[in-house]
Structure 1
Amino acid sequence: MPVRIVPKNYRNLTGLVLNTRTQSMTAFESSLERDFLLLLDFDLEVEFYEEQPVTITYQDDRGRRRTYTPDVFVRYRMDPLKAKPTSPLLCEVKYRDDLRQYWTMYRPKFRAAGRYARQRGWRFRLVTERDVRTPYLENVKFLRSYRTMPLNEPHRTRLLAALSVLGEAHPTSLLNAISQDRRQQAQILPTLWQLLATRQIGTDLNQPLTMQCRIWLKESS
């Protein structure tokens, strides 16, 4: 169970987002932390994540007892193709200007978290807006709601069959290959986004997702 109880906060954005790994709500205390949680939830390699699950006790430079609770714990799925499994992560999510302004205060906490993580075979990582606020995030925000919508199997079958013939396409050319009827294309398009969201159709999610982006059939499909 998470350590943290998110307080009312009128300065930073606080709230809850759905964690599809546990089918429960995960708390956040800033929009940056919320966006990082969205990335984790969309990442197929992430097996489990939880907000602030541990509180670390350490001594400061004066020998006084202190505590620190990192923001997020992440555990990854075992990949048989990797020679070495990805180590679990303890993450702290902070804006870069916040780190610069309060680095002297944060540094002992982060050192303690690094020691705590190493003792358990984990890694400690600082996550900033440079890691989170990317075109990939915008694509995740757009696609995430399509993952759980009811699947239209006839539309799925037509999309995958057409893309199998084309080999590679973009959304516009794929829809044109299926039908020239614009109304029918509009009906099929949500299923295309769903297949991208569930990785049955591939694309480069590090680039803006448009009707002209390159898409292809994933081998598992």
Structure 2
Amino acid sequence: MAGSLGVLPGGVSGPPAEGFEVAYADRGGSEFRASLRDAWAVRFEDVAPVRAFKSYKGQRHLPGLWWSSTAGGHIGYESWLERDHVMLLDFDASVVGISSQPFWLFWRSEAGKGVSHAPDYFARRDNGTGLVVDCRPADRRKPRDVAKFEATRTACAQVGWEFRLVGAPDAIMVRNVRWLAGYRHPRHRLESVASDLLAAFAEPQPLMAGASAVGDPIRVLPVLFHLLWLHELTANVSVPLHALSLVSAEVPR
């Protein structure tokens, strides 16, 4: 892990990060601590969680594991809110790597007191840039927590990462993406059917009409939903998906 410092794909370079340190662990269990300036280019999308996902009787939050098609493995979450956001990261076509609880961030308050915070997620985009995400409902953001989120935002800005503090996502989009996520595994890709679907939707047309033109919907629809998850086919997921939803093949960039 220590050898992963350097310039990321796309030539992204990192400015100095003053006043912050990070602690993280690789998949082999080795632990590291360094200034953010020295660790900004660590592949945080590949690190191990710095906190355990605990489960106990009477627990108010529901932790679990999300199988990520982006990461090709499980990613932990501590609540259903976090599950929804890791699902949306997994669905994001620009995201190529995701990790949960990726590092501890350390700094000192204005009073000189040591403060720490572990963000919920780190995501790597296909252009090499980083995204740090914290999940907290708007009505549960206490002043002490807000101060930590703002310090994390400052740290991220110093190294060129985007920071997002997110609450409840759009309910319709979540329902649509959750449905498509049921078909995210590669086992749903039948190449012959996929090729026919891409040809059938070369021009936008209603979802069910295009599926029926290819073959038995019972066989075709799982492949269609898999291609929608992969963005090889596209549809508007900000409104409810239905039989008449317009679907089209993604134009290669």
- Using the size of structure 2 for normalisation, the TM-score is 0.72
Deviation of 1:196 (Å): 1.8
1:210 aligns with 2:242: yes
Match of 1:191 in 2: 223
Structure 1 residues 217 and 98 mapped into 2: Cα distance closer, same or farther (>3 Å)? same
Cα distance in 2 for residues equivalent to 1:142 and 1:133: 14
Where in structure 2 are the equivalents of 1:63-74 lying within 5 Å?
A: 63-74=112-123
Unaligned runs of 5+ in 1: 79-84
Match of 1:153 in 2: 191
Residue type at the aligned position of 2:245: C
Q: Considering fraction of residues, name the structure with more helix.
A: 1
Identical pairs, percent? 28
Which digits, 9 at most, give the CA deviation of each residue in 1:177-220, with x for residues without a partner? 446xxxx2333222222222222222112221111101112223
Match of 1:144 in 2: 181
Structure 1 residues 188 and 24 mapped into 2: Cα distance closer, same or farther (>3 Å)? closer
Deviation of 1:34 (Å): 0.8
Match of 2:125 in 1: 76
Structure 1 residues 213 and 105 mapped into 2: Cα distance closer, same or farther (>3 Å)? same
Match of 1:2 in 2: 49
Deviation of 1:146 (Å): 1.6
Match of 1:81 in 2: none
Match of 1:220 in 2: 252
Match of 2:37 in 1: none
1:98 aligns with 2:98: no
CA RMSD of aligned residues (A): 2.2
- Using the size of structure 1 for normalisation, the TM-score is 0.81
Residue type at the aligned position of 2:207: P
Cα distance in 1 for residues equivalent to 2:90 and 2:190: 23
Structure 1 residues 89 and 212 mapped into 2: Cα distance closer, same or farther (>3 Å)? same
Match of 1:162 in 2: 200
Match of 1:120 in 2: 159
Cα distance in 2 for residues equivalent to 1:211 and 1:53: 40
Match of 1:42 in 2: 91
Residue type at the aligned position of 1:92: D
Which digits, 9 at most, give the CA deviation of each residue in 1:102-142, with x for residues without a partner? 1x21132123212221221223221111xx23322212111
Cα distance in 2 for residues equivalent to 1:209 and 1:59: 48
Deviation of 1:176 (Å): 4.4
Cα distance in 2 for residues equivalent to 1:23 and 1:163: 28
